[in-house]
Chain A
């Protein structure tokens, strides 16, 4: 197990280097520059140059990247060009919001997708299966921002059940915290529900056709028992893998959802950093998001082993 962890850690470092170098390079290719974003069009050439020198923006991109990596390995993610706030502090203020949002979205997506998949798989081709399948297609085809705006219009503006804006800290008011994140989480979960349900339905249909399920039926087990005790576990490999991979998609989705619902999360921080060509802030966000993505997928890999002994044996060191 230790060697697996070491191997994973080495891979994480390689991924981090590759992703941060790529993001550094890509932001460098974006038209417009940091100083224009900071000072606007009316600043004088002298002032522009002074800021440029102050921030050492004239250094070649590889030099700036190497300097950043040198600081980052000591735990210093730098100071934002724009806000002059240490990036670690800024991320610390926002990370919890995004983590909560993604976690709640995943829970909502799984809570809806798994029953949908079970009901569809129990009667493949039935009217219920077709209805669920059609619903999933509609969910897949509807952009997340549209869902967000529609949820806000109906449940916040028209019905007044939720606030349109504002985040309540968990420590201040747990109920208020969930309430402030529920609509954004549903908006973020919508697409995932469809994806999870479709993948799991297919896996369940295949599982229901396996000999051990027929054997369980022959023993007189109830459908409920067969599903819960025999079919769900082997049918969960696909959805667990997808859950890990979809974290990246969801993090991308938080940019829109956090903007629409005015949540102080990492998605909004990241898009602000991109818009303002704030390399340092962006790099910090990229590191945190990359680590998060790799860790979640590592956890998904471990979970595969729990779900399927054959996978556990395959990763065991020899």
Chain B
């Protein structure tokens, strides 16, 4: 295979992303709480400007192409671009929390960390506009027939901000730094050995087939391997606080909890950016972040709160702000422990899913028109989506299933865990009332996020609001769906195991899709999760901020500018 270069929903999402690290972020915003540490493959999808059909990007590829999915839902978008980009100016970006540091091989990043990371560093690969993985710092990323040996050839002439060359040895040192990290070595768990072939070529041998390896080289939540740091930074114990990359902006200053400043890298290998300077301000309180934007103190911020996005759509119509919605990220789910009675009976699980009235949930979240309903781990617009036997809303049928179970076994009563935010408790009460209507009793438990994570890790839960599953390349869900992984639901099936293994070893997207269709069909029938909808981020910009919905690849073709709450600032410019 060759790839060749040419506050509402917020709070719910907080719990929904409980499988991800909260520690890396400082605030209460749900959009804060996202840092999975896994070998997750990247999410696909694209953010587009108005009128964009989200079609294929135009990057030159040779078959078989990327293993990444192609999302065709082309969400909404943004302020009209002015004709001529103008250089200069300072942009203030409000981010949802402070990072522990800016070493991609040490610090687990939330969206905030990734947004700073994408300014200072470049990755070996990126998504093109259609969601396909294409080389970026690399000129090519080539796998052998069974995807056990991968060869990365770098573009010539790229240097880090400190003048060191980006060569094969630098790539090896970066990968080695990840392997040396007790926390993050899982990101390269299949990498067995590395061989520097020449200045620009490195050969990687895997311990087993890894068809989705290029996905790992794009910087997304949970996967930071693709960011290339300067060897001097890798060698420095202070590297995390003095990041050196090849990116469009150079690090200037970091005052933790206050701001991080970067300035334009005039020598960027893909052409200098427009902005003179970017200041990232961590504002962990979501109300304060919105207030800062409304007051004009920050120029850009992003939110997972559907009610805020809805409000800003109205302002966008008046030309006051720009709103860009990225590709959907990991869905929100209600997760069952399928070994804990009564959830060990598929009739109960199906009944609980059949009782959930999604429009009622979205009405509560003010998310109508923002979130997309789901019937499985992938949105209907996703390349990976297939129809399944996932139950539809049918309270009468659900009540019958509960009656049947009760006649055989006994009452349906269970603990339903969520976070401590009162809004989340109210959200849980909505489920509770819908389940009560069919004769099932849910006892609500409110716990701190870290307690919920511990409960899930120790199988000490029955039903819980959760997140971080689905939405991306299906191989990212290997640990959750395969019996040999963490598998929080404890739902296992030999057919799923076989399909997940086969999907990992294959490289042809259509062939992989066939395998993942099997997984979706079984999940739809057995319902270890209730899929409550996509998780959407909106990037909000002041009038006069242009180019956020653009990210031009070196060959001039469009890349994917926004994914979830992560975006590139390389092509952003300010109107005079």
Residues of chain A whose beta carbon lies under 8 Å from any beta carbon of chain B? 31-33, 36-44, 47, 50-51, 54, 82-85, 90, 93-94, 149, 152-153, 156-157, 160, 163-167, 259-265, 268-269, 272, 275-277
Chain B residues with Cβ below 8 Å from A40 are 19-23, 35-37, 108, 453
Q: How far is the CA of A89 from the CA of B472 in the complex (A)?
A: 40
Residue of B nearest to A278 (CB): B23
CB atoms of A47 and B182 under 8 A apart: yes
* Chain B window 34-60, contacts with chain A (Cβ cutoff 8 Å), 1 for yes, 0 for no: 011110000000000000000000000
- Quick one: given A37-B22, A41-B19, are A31 and B450 in contact (CB under 8 Å)? yes
CB atoms of A268 and B101 under 8 A apart: no
- Quick one: given A259-B284, A262-B257, are A41 and B448 in contact (CB under 8 Å)? no
CB atoms of A50 and B182 under 8 A apart: yes
Chain B residues with Cβ below 8 Å from A164 are 288, 291-292, 295, 297
Q: How far is the CA of A263 from the CA of B259 in the complex (A)?
A: 10
CB atoms of B288 and A165 under 8 A apart: yes
CB atoms of A165 and B257 under 8 A apart: no
Which interface residue of A82, A90, A165, A261 has the most chain B CB atoms within 10 A?
A165
Residue of A nearest to B39 (CB): A42
CB atoms of A41 and B285 under 8 A apart: no
Q: How far is the CA of A85 from the CA of B241 in the complex (A)?
A: 9
Chain B residues with Cβ below 8 Å from A83 are 100-101, 240, 256
Q: How far is the CA of A183 from the CA of B454 in the complex (A)?
A: 39
CB atoms of B295 and A156 under 8 A apart: yes
Q: How far is the CA of A173 from the CA of B26 in the complex (A)?
A: 28
Q: How far is the CA of A93 from the CA of B257 in the complex (A)?
A: 10
Q: Is B255 an interface residue (CB 8 A)?
A: yes
- B residues 91-106 near A (Cβ < 8 Å) are 94, 98, 100-101, 106
Q: How far is the CA of A38 from the CA of B36 in the complex (A)?
A: 10
B301 to chain A, nearest CB (A): 11
- Quick one: given A164-B292, A262-B257, are A38 and B101 in contact (CB under 8 Å)? no
CB atoms of A42 and B468 under 8 A apart: yes
Residue of A nearest to B450 (CB): A32
Q: How far is the CA of A164 from the CA of B301 in the complex (A)?
A: 14
Q: How far is the CA of A163 from the CA of B26 in the complex (A)?
A: 21
Q: How far is the CA of A160 from the CA of B292 in the complex (A)?
A: 10
Residue of A nearest to B106 (CB): A84
B349 to chain A, nearest CB (A): 21
- Quick one: given A43-B37, A83-B100, are A33 and B297 in contact (CB under 8 Å)? no
16 contacts between A and B (CB under 8 A): A32-B449, A43-B183, A47-B186, A50-B182, A84-B101, A84-B106, A93-B255, A156-B295, A157-B294, A164-B288, A165-B94, A165-B281, A165-B298, A262-B292, A268-B26, A276-B23
CB atoms of B258 and A262 under 8 A apart: yes
Residue in contact with B288 in the complex, picked from A51, A152, A167, CB distance below 8 Å? A152
CB atoms of A38 and B21 under 8 A apart: yes
Q: Is B456 an interface residue (CB 8 A)?
A: yes
Q: Is B457 an interface residue (CB 8 A)?
A: yes
Q: How far is the CA of A263 from the CA of B292 in the complex (A)?
A: 13
CB atoms of B295 and A36 under 8 A apart: no
- Quick one: given A38-B183, A264-B257, are A165 and B283 in contact (CB under 8 Å)? yes
By secondary structure, the B interface counts as loop
Chain B residues with Cβ below 8 Å from A263 are 257-258
B564 to chain A, nearest CB (A): 16
- Quick one: given A42-B19, A42-B486, are A31 and B454 in contact (CB under 8 Å)? yes
Q: Is B479 an interface residue (CB 8 A)?
A: yes
- B residues 250-306 near A (Cβ < 8 Å) are 255-259, 281-285, 287-288, 291-292, 294-298
CB atoms of A82 and B27 under 8 A apart: no
Chain B residues with Cβ below 8 Å from A84 are 100-101, 106, 240
Chain A residues with Cβ below 8 Å from B297 are 156, 163-166
- Quick one: given A36-B457, A163-B297, are A277 and B186 in contact (CB under 8 Å)? no
Chain B residues with Cβ below 8 Å from A50 are 182
B449 to chain A, nearest CB (A): 8
CB atoms of A31 and B447 under 8 A apart: yes
CB atoms of B288 and A36 under 8 A apart: no
12 additional contacts, CB 8 Å, given A165-B297, A275-B26? Answer: A32-B448, A42-B37, A47-B185, A84-B106, A149-B287, A157-B294, A164-B291, A165-B283, A259-B288, A260-B288, A262-B257, A276-B22
Residue in contact with B451 in the complex, picked from A32, A259, A275, CB distance below 8 Å? A32
- B residues 553-572 near A (Cβ < 8 Å) are none
- Quick one: given A40-B35, A269-B257, are A165 and B292 in contact (CB under 8 Å)? yes
5 nearest A-B pairs in the assembled complex, by CB-CB distance:
A32-B450, A264-B257, A40-B21, A37-B23, A264-B258
B22 to chain A, nearest CB (A): 7
Chain A residues with Cβ below 8 Å from B108 are 38-40
* Chain B window 75-89, contacts with chain A (Cβ cutoff 8 Å), 1 for yes, 0 for no: 000000000000000
Chain A residues with Cβ below 8 Å from B451 are 31-32
* Chain B window 438-464, contacts with chain A (Cβ cutoff 8 Å), 1 for yes, 0 for no: 000000000111110110110000000
Q: Is B222 an interface residue (CB 8 A)?
A: yes
CB atoms of B256 and A93 under 8 A apart: yes
A183 to chain B, nearest CB (A): 11
Q: How far is the CA of A167 from the CA of B94 in the complex (A)?
A: 14
Q: Is B18 an interface residue (CB 8 A)?
A: yes
Residue of B nearest to A43 (CB): B37
A86 to chain B, nearest CB (A): 11
Chain B residues with Cβ below 8 Å from A261 are 288
Residue of A nearest to B27 (CB): A259
Chain A residues with Cβ below 8 Å from B292 are 164-165, 262
Q: How far is the CA of A126 from the CA of B453 in the complex (A)?
A: 59
Q: How far is the CA of A268 from the CA of B282 in the complex (A)?
A: 12
CB atoms of B186 and A44 under 8 A apart: yes
A137 to chain B, nearest CB (A): 26
A142 to chain B, nearest CB (A): 17
B471 to chain A, nearest CB (A): 14
CB atoms of B456 and A41 under 8 A apart: yes
B232 to chain A, nearest CB (A): 18
Residue in contact with B283 in the complex, picked from A149, A167, A262, CB distance below 8 Å? A262
Residue of A nearest to B101 (CB): A83
Q: How far is the CA of A97 from the CA of B185 in the complex (A)?
A: 37
Q: How far is the CA of A119 from the CA of B335 in the complex (A)?
A: 62
Residue of B nearest to A82 (CB): B100
- Quick one: given A43-B37, A47-B186, are A157 and B450 in contact (CB under 8 Å)? no
Residue of B nearest to A162 (CB): B295
Residue in contact with B284 in the complex, picked from A43, A44, A262, A269, CB distance below 8 Å? A262
Residue in contact with B454 in the complex, picked from A33, A153, A160, A275, CB distance below 8 Å? A33
- Quick one: given A164-B292, A166-B258, A167-B258, are A42 and B26 in contact (CB under 8 Å)? no
CB atoms of A41 and B453 under 8 A apart: yes
Which interface residue of A43, A152, A160, A268 has the most chain B CB atoms within 10 A?
A43
CB atoms of B183 and A32 under 8 A apart: no
Which interface residue of B23, B94, B486 has the most chain A CB atoms within 10 A?
B23
Q: How far is the CA of A93 from the CA of B259 in the complex (A)?
A: 13
Chain A residues with Cβ below 8 Å from B19 are 40-42
